[in-house]
Amino acid sequence: MWPSAFEYQRPVSLAEALQVLSDHEDAKVLAGGHSLLPAMKLRLAEHEMLVDIGRLSELKEIITIRNGGVKIGALATHAEIAASVDVQRACPALASAAGMVGDQQVRNWGTLGGNLAHSDPASDPTTVVLACGGTIQIQSASGSRSVSADDFFIDLFTVDINPGELITSVELPDLSRHKSAYVKMAHPASRYAVVGVGVVLEMSGNTCTSARVAVGGATVKPTRAPGAESALAGSTLDEAALNAAADAVKSDIADMLIGDMNYPEDYRQEMAGVYLKRAVRAALS
């Protein structure tokens, strides 16, 4: 199918893009286009104007920032993130997750900013950004603001972005001294996450002093698992602790579950516990 008619703008600067978005609050931002354009072709989404930000080189940088963290421009592709030594150092789980997105063509074109803005529940990067405690930088013609990943994801395909606003970058703390991992049960055809689990563990010797756990794929949005985090924190991450965390994560996500005819809710819920244990073991390996 063809999309409905729309106007197309391709600004050459961030200031111009923000002004266009300010003047046309119903406009939709086009980054990589791997989620937006198929939806428009199927008439699942209709927009009167697309604002193509692909020329905005200032949104493509990946750099080390204060305290050793990393700042990733909204237009950085999944392939660039997977290959970035800055990301591999500061947040290896995100580098790993970026390398799992779709196929090579999708990774070459899809962007982190677009992925977060679209917030597909089966996305890989969204789950890891939440697990890593990322901060999303958002800008409009009237100013800028920062939103923690804990507050950014609101509901199914719904995030904290207002009309006229644009994601400019994502900042992640330096987790190089932590243990982290992302694992997923991938759909055999699309490679989307049926269940994905990201973990970040702070260790003191053999003891986990704190943990962040996020689940995607099985839930309507990337979801923290506080019960699982509590089960891991203070433990030596032995089998008893992992079993307790696996049971806890199933309770943590019970009210957020999604499913389909191939992978129903109860199956995904059970797999969340399985993949939590795999994620912890991967982080420690």
Closest CA to 92 of 201, 176, 203, 169: 176
Tokens of 163: 């009309």
Strands 49-52 and 7-9: parallel
Segment 25-50, tens digit of pLDDT: 889 999 887 778 778 787 877 888 89
Q: Half-sphere exposure (CA, 13 Å, Cβ side) for 227?
A: 14
pLDDT at position 26: 86
Residues written for the chain: 285
Fold match between domain 59-172 and domain 179-284: no
pLDDT at position 90: 98
CB burial of residue 236 (10 Å; 0-12, 13-18, 19+)? exposed
State the average pLDDT over residues 169-185. Answer: 98
CB burial of residue 240 (10 Å; 0-12, 13-18, 19+)? exposed
pLDDT at position 189: 92
pLDDT at position 232: 99
Tokens of 90: 């500061």
Segment 48-80, tens digit of pLDDT: 889 999 999 999 999 999 899 999 999 999 999
Closest CA to 74 of 27, 26, 17, 133: 17
State the average pLDDT over residues 115-119. Answer: 96
**CATH fold of 179-284:** Enolase-like; domain 1 (3.30.390)
pLDDT at position 168: 98
Per-residue pLDDT for 5 more than 90?
A: no
Per-residue pLDDT for 120 more than 90?
A: yes
pLDDT at position 39: 80
Q: Where are the domains of the chain?
A: 7-48, 59-172, 179-284
User: Please, where are the H alpha helices in the chain?
Assistant: 14-23, 36-41, 78-83, 85-90, 92-98, 104-109, 112-118, 125-131, 149-152, 226-232, 239-252, 265-284
pLDDT at position 267: 98
CA–CA separation, 175 vs 157, rounded Å? Answer: 28
pLDDT at position 211: 99
CA–CA separation, 213 vs 234, rounded Å? Answer: 15
Cα distance from N-terminal residue to C-terminal residue, the chain: 47
Count Cβ atoms below 10 Å from residue 105 Cβ, excluding itself.
10
CA–CA separation, 36 vs 263, rounded Å? Answer: 25
If one compares 42 and 280, the residue with the highest pLDDT of the two is 280
pLDDT at position 152: 99
Per-residue pLDDT for 216 more than 90?
A: yes
Per-residue pLDDT for 3 more than 90?
A: no
User: Which CATH number does the domain 59-172 belong to among 3.30.465.10, 1.10.3720.10, 3.30.1330.60, 3.40.50.2000?
Assistant: 3.30.465.10
Which residue is listed with tokens 């080390």? 64
Closest CA to 153 of 181, 185, 123: 123
Per-residue pLDDT for 6 more than 90?
A: no
pLDDT band, very low/low/confident/very high, at 257 (cuts 50, 70, 90): very high
